[in-house]
Amino acid sequence: MYYWFPNVNGYVWIVIYLIVIISFNLLNVRRVGWIEYILTVIKVSTLVGLVILGLVTLAGGVNKPPHLGLDSTYTPVPCSQNNITIGPCLSEPGFTCRDSHNLSDSRLERVCLP
């Protein structure tokens, strides 16, 4: 809480939380159940809202450049021809590829690992 309220002493927050916990213990079972129900509704609503916000963001509902892989006009360029004005260099999205020489028959083979 120091981040939001730097001028408030830490002991104040300890006393506030102790009062809240003790007051919950002094309530009857029906009221504790109701408080638990309200807190669960808040938690579930927050999770559903965050999932919807994430889907809207991925679908392009924000005024920012689209994420890599979500832009329909994206065309990767070979890394040998990489130029900032053409576009980013991405030869194989999601894979780490390297060329290796096969010493037994002198072939060049590409090894790609996810």
As a whole number, the mean pLDDT across the chain is: 74
Residue 15 pLDDT class (50, 70, 90 cuts)? very high
What pLDDT score does 58 carry? 75
The pTM of this model reads 0.46
What pLDDT score does 44 carry? 98
What pLDDT score does 36 carry? 92
Tell me the C-alpha distance between 112 and 94, whole Å: 10
* φ, ψ of residue 2 in degrees (nearest 5): -65, -30
What pLDDT score does 38 carry? 95
| Domain limits, the chain | 10-58, 79-113
